[in-house]
Structure 1
């Protein structure tokens, strides 16, 4: 299986960092805040949709009450400032 696209890797990176810091699963709104996105319904719903796709493909775990947790393990996260 190939690595997910950069937007998806950023979501995975936030969840992996949270797991490493001892935090539990996060809601889509919390992930949006961690990524520096606006907490508008459009941004949060778009992020939730991406997180669900990642869960369907086994990259992360969708917990109860709409929260998402890290799944497979560490994922290389591209730097926010890189143009790659």
Structure 2
């Protein structure tokens, strides 16, 4: 016949194993929760930025997206072949 002390030790060991399993599971769930919260935060920020961009006037939005038009001087002055705007007004 098994002693009462032996039965209690077996139950204690089983409870300890179960507690360790649950701690490991809780750590995995906490890590997954952290990742899910980070994704949620990025999605909330993206939605807020989109709402802000859509609420801005069109001119302001164009300036933000396109930026100021800066073209180097040599590009602006270069003639385009066949356009009749070659130097001296001569056509090719």
- Please give the TM-score of this superposition, normalised by the length of structure 1: 0.24
Give 1 or 2 for the bigger CA radius of gyration.
2
**Higher RCO (C-alpha under 8 Å, 6+ residues apart):** 1
Identify, as 1 or 2, the structure richer in strand.
1
Identify, as 1 or 2, the structure richer in helix.
2
